[in-house]
Structure 1
């Protein structure tokens, strides 16, 4: 199955560039034989031009040279531009015969030599942004191809006309999944088509297995939607337009005996306005915002899904009681007016039914959704490229984070679909399952476990919980201990790291813009408490007070005044602890560009 036609040399993307760093310019020299012109970028203004020759270099000319593998885009800030380039990549597999690469190295090239002439206020602003640019260089999960549109599923690629396939890759891209759409704008304006490299954030994994005499290739792709991109606690629910947080399209592709089959399912936060702002507690309370708007927001979300996927089965895995129960009730009540044959809602209390170890009980959920899966089928083409089956509906799964419970559930659905596909093309016999082929079963579990870990790291900062069940088919002591460590890691990232990370994401996506050509907004100024509040300082003061209290208690036997002094230090500890708890939100790492919907 070949989904692309050969592009003309003038439209092919550059795969290797030699980057020359001169004092006044950056020069990108194509070394892939696709062009003779060089891209020159001014380090003062960020202006771009195609030139025929390198600048003259004398014996005293200082320059650096390195190989880069693409330009992610350009970020325009108030006092300069920043080019984001790929400095390292790994080939992680192929998509219909075309190589797929994972970005393993990013570099931000500043074009702000004019910084010396800017105002003190702009200098301060740019200094603050430098921390965000450092965070941007650490972005994970970026994937790209020089030859094929990675933003579209196999079914949508198959349905494209030849005229559409002939367009440059960035013109073909699905806007929701084009991670660098905003960064590409300056390159598009300058018509630098050979430098317009479309990038997705997500994951790409592949396994191969042998079933009897047949080889089976399984690929799993995650495509993260950028509309409401963000971190675990700072992006919950949906926005007013119906775009949900942590919305990810997962596509499982099977190739064997000349057949290609695909199944797409999605995950995303419960699609109405709600939030869970960190406040140093382990599990902050859920807050439903503007409840009266929930039906409208939810309707927008599901109608958008219908346009793109057809029928939608919403599987809600949250708890029946507690704070999660309040969200479930709002979800169920708000979706009720739009329920139909094409929009179905199923609630399955994952924790009540499966607990923490009996995940095999997910078969109860499968029994509820089996008829829907069989009705809406999957995408299938034969060795001639002829479509035999078409997927006409998807499953939308959510828990609270849309990570751990969701990944376990999606892996179960993916397994059932894959078994059905293999039976259909004759690789499996009737009643045959993946678990009857130990090597295939092991690799398939690892495939989905890695998929879940990649999505989880991008959203929460840690691998997925419950990953041992997905990876090994059972809960293990090591897995439970890993879950404890990852849960503590999530607490740390959510409270003390993710605010800055959220700002960096918003900056790269153009959700916050500080461009000289656009309205320029300054990050909100912190109040007096916010300016000086520091959890590290408070923690150091408490530990210091505890140390002095213990020292005083040791001396209390000889002098009663030390007993009073120890009580004073104890009171100091309690006072600081109470103050920090009462002002928990102030002591967390909060996004400066984020505003609560209250």
Structure 2
């Protein structure tokens, strides 16, 4: 089978980069010409005499990307082992290097900014890969695949995070080049799929029985981005902040520990190890859940207010996208149990109503049922296909369940979230989970003997698909893990693992709390809220204070730091493609607001500074009082005016994405700048000194080719 090379040497020559595997001397070498970027496969022996200036050992090729002036090869220079699944090592990307095809002589601020975006994004993004295990697919999907197919071809397109930057290698593999116009399967071992998200593997014991507990969260590369700049669905039906989380339990894993460098230890063809520990069959049990933004067209518009302005477009307009989204979900997972956790009152009510309208329009003869209690008028609301009988539409496999999470858990009574699990018990029992075995001496291709399949999935969401969502997902995972351990005979029927093994319980809690933090940080820029419940099993005052700190940090980052983060997502994933050869306007990232608009924060800061100077400067005994008072009052008034102006015109001070402008940002910006022109103080100055304002700040990005793969 064509697995990725575990060891690659890069030879840097004046006219090319040459990639080869020392452990596979008969395999063709990959040559990328400089500066054209043309890709070739050559006999490694024929390239041996080439003069090289540097030889480097790398863990793999992350991809290639075209920026404004040059194309770069992104290579993984350092990878950290994080654990083994089925005896195969999994790695986290620690360090990368960008290899330019040209020796750049010109200093270009846009090129430098693009490079900085990429480096910071890769450095901060948790990305994982394996040379032998398909991390993009759940174990259930892996069991359906032909293991003789190259690893990258088996990858789930949604979670193949570096798919866009691998497109040059993939296109060469499928079509060849001018010199080699035919498919080139020899390049398969150089194509390495990577996932973005959370991955933890813990070899442990439960009541003395060795096993491995793992958690993988795969973030979709479609409609990926930051909290307030990426909401709802796109036109293709991809949901914002969409993640698939798989909880895995492995019994009798033969090599669950760490070890080895890039490759780890290996045995057998392709480094695969087969069979369980001490001659016992290896058993793999996994449970999959998904989360994703409410499937409608909606946005939250930053204006420096703590609560952004909510916009929801007509449901009829979003229906084709919602249909595409759920067609894919049903095709992949079967029945979908849609658990909606947003508030039923206040600003979130419109999102709840939008979701329910979407389901009503998709399901045949929808039948709604509401359940109330003393705490809330609507503790549960369900929408199902009405009329009984067989399904008349594929969307009759949607089962909507609304749970008023905040109302039910008010007053730190988080245990009441268990009501949702009780409500879904029959569905969870019918849902099952994936279970398979691999006996000692099984076929070398590593196929699993499937014993049960997961027949449906729970898709959870709150507004952000972060805090409430993770609490509920961890509860569903706990319920299913109890069931797995009972079915394995490790737990008495009717018992819970939390009551049987304290160390295992602590491991489970921390693993899911880590998952909450990683998913939250990728989307909102901070760790998750309510992790005290996940880690400690109860809501605490300390946890509530920590949530307050998280809320303030999110406010700051989402308003003032998320623009570049969103640009980095769009650049890496191909939602924005830089025009080659420096075509298009320069200074894409330049601040094109009028100078006086830019100066207001500095004026306000100077005002506060002079007030502090006036208050804390020692005064001579015989000095006049009123001049100092007037000085203080004047600068206090200037500072307060500056703060008032910024808060009143917040659209002008949010750090917006510059590569793919948001339509609501463009509209709101123009409305605000028109209002500022009428301002009695700044209006005449803005009108007089306006420089390249209007659409220039946003439309320059349109000169580049933008598309979402």
Q: TM-score, normalised by structure 2?
A: 0.76
Per-residue deviation, residues 154-184 of structure 1 (Å, max 9, x unmatched)? 1111122xxx321211111111110011111
Residue 219, structure 1, aligned to residue 214, structure 2 = yes
Of the three residues 356, 368, 376, the one matched with 2:431 is 376
Q: In the TM superposition, what is the alpha-carbon distance from 1:484 to its structure 2 partner?
A: 3.0
For residues 32 and 352 of structure 2, the distance between their equivalents in structure 1, rounded to whole angstroms, comes to 53
For residues 155 and 534 of structure 1, the distance between their equivalents in structure 2, rounded to whole angstroms, comes to 57
Of the three residues 300, 305, 309, the one matched with 1:285 is 309
Residue 178, structure 1, aligned to residue 172, structure 2 = no
Q: In the TM superposition, what is the alpha-carbon distance from 1:426 to its structure 2 partner?
A: 1.7
Residue 268, structure 1, aligned to residue 296, structure 2 = no
For residues 20 and 398 of structure 1, the distance between their equivalents in structure 2, rounded to whole angstroms, comes to 48
Structure 1: state its 5+ residue gaps: 1-6
For residues 347 and 322 of structure 2, the distance between their equivalents in structure 1, rounded to whole angstroms, comes to 20
Change (3 A) 1:398 1:88: same
For residues 619 and 353 of structure 2, the distance between their equivalents in structure 1, rounded to whole angstroms, comes to 56
Decide whether the 8 Å contact of 1:43 with 1:113 is kept in 2.
no
Of the three residues 121, 127, 135, the one matched with 1:136 is 121
Q: In the TM superposition, what is the alpha-carbon distance from 1:46 to its structure 2 partner?
A: 3.1
Residue 146 (structure 1) aligns with: 131
Residue 228, structure 1, aligned to residue 195, structure 2 = no
Decide whether the 8 Å contact of 1:242 with 1:272 is kept in 2.
no
Residue 519 (structure 2) aligns with: 455
Residue 18, structure 1, aligned to residue 9, structure 2 = yes
Decide whether the 8 Å contact of 1:314 with 1:395 is kept in 2.
yes
Residue 252, structure 1, aligned to residue 247, structure 2 = yes
Of stretches 356-365 and 403-412 in structure 1, the one that deviates more from structure 2 is 356-365
Per-residue deviation, residues 49-96 of structure 1 (Å, max 9, x unmatched)? 445335655xxx8x4554321010000124210111111111112232
Residue 588, structure 1, aligned to residue 649, structure 2 = no
Secondary structure of 2:73 counterpart: strand
Of the three residues 38, 50, 74, the one matched with 1:84 is 74
Rg comparison, structure with higher value: 2
Residue 72 (structure 1) aligns with: 62
Residue 571, structure 1, aligned to residue 637, structure 2 = yes
For residues 217 and 210 of structure 1, the distance between their equivalents in structure 2, rounded to whole angstroms, comes to 8
Change (3 A) 1:510 1:392: same
Per-residue deviation, residues 112-153 of structure 1 (Å, max 9, x unmatched)? 33665xxx9xx4542442332332332411011111221111
Q: In the TM superposition, what is the alpha-carbon distance from 1:434 to its structure 2 partner?
A: 1.2
For residues 403 and 313 of structure 1, the distance between their equivalents in structure 2, rounded to whole angstroms, comes to 18
Change (3 A) 1:262 1:531: farther
Decide whether the 8 Å contact of 2:13 with 2:50 is kept in 1.
no
Q: In the TM superposition, what is the alpha-carbon distance from 1:517 to its structure 2 partner?
A: 9.2
For residues 518 and 241 of structure 1, the distance between their equivalents in structure 2, rounded to whole angstroms, comes to 30
Residue 53, structure 1, aligned to residue 47, structure 2 = yes
Decide whether the 8 Å contact of 1:91 with 1:102 is kept in 2.
yes
Per-residue deviation, residues 545-589 of structure 1 (Å, max 9, x unmatched)? 433553699689724233233222122112111111122122122
1:498-537 correspondence to structure 2 within 5 Å: 498-516=562-580, 523=588, 527-529=592-594, 533=598, 537=602
Decide whether the 8 Å contact of 2:83 with 2:202 is kept in 1.
no
Of stretches 569-578 and 293-302 in structure 1, the one that deviates more from structure 2 is 293-302
Secondary structure of 1:165 counterpart: coil
Secondary structure of 2:132 counterpart: coil
Change (3 A) 1:134 1:386: closer
Residue 442 (structure 2) aligns with: none
Residue 100 (structure 1) aligns with: 90
Structure 2: state its 5+ residue gaps: 174-186, 253-281, 364-384, 386-395, 440-447, 665-709
Decide whether the 8 Å contact of 1:403 with 1:464 is kept in 2.
yes
Residue 611 (structure 2) aligns with: 546
Q: CA RMSD in A?
A: 2.8
Residue 472 (structure 1) aligns with: 536
Q: In the TM superposition, what is the alpha-carbon distance from 1:333 to its structure 2 partner?
A: 2.2
For residues 482 and 23 of structure 1, the distance between their equivalents in structure 2, rounded to whole angstroms, comes to 54
Decide whether the 8 Å contact of 1:548 with 1:569 is kept in 2.
no
Change (3 A) 1:514 1:521: farther
For residues 537 and 107 of structure 1, the distance between their equivalents in structure 2, rounded to whole angstroms, comes to 38
Secondary structure of 1:500 counterpart: helix
For residues 581 and 137 of structure 2, the distance between their equivalents in structure 1, rounded to whole angstroms, comes to 32
Per-residue deviation, residues 328-373 of structure 1 (Å, max 9, x unmatched)? 1221222222243521111112111113632211111111111111
For residues 14 and 93 of structure 1, the distance between their equivalents in structure 2, rounded to whole angstroms, comes to 19
Secondary structure of 2:309 counterpart: coil
1:415-426 correspondence to structure 2 within 5 Å: 415-426=478-489
Q: In the TM superposition, what is the alpha-carbon distance from 1:453 to its structure 2 partner?
A: 1.6
Secondary structure of 1:286 counterpart: strand
Residue 4 (structure 1) aligns with: none
Of the three residues 297, 321, 329, the one matched with 1:305 is 329
Change (3 A) 1:518 1:158: farther
Change (3 A) 1:537 1:107: farther
Of stretches 578-587 and 402-411 in structure 1, the one that deviates more from structure 2 is 578-587
Residue 376 (structure 2) aligns with: none
Secondary structure of 1:331 counterpart: helix
Q: In the TM superposition, what is the alpha-carbon distance from 1:108 to its structure 2 partner?
A: 1.9
Q: In the TM superposition, what is the alpha-carbon distance from 1:101 to its structure 2 partner?
A: 0.8
Of the three residues 150, 153, 167, the one matched with 1:168 is 150
For residues 270 and 98 of structure 1, the distance between their equivalents in structure 2, rounded to whole angstroms, comes to 37
Secondary structure of 1:416 counterpart: helix
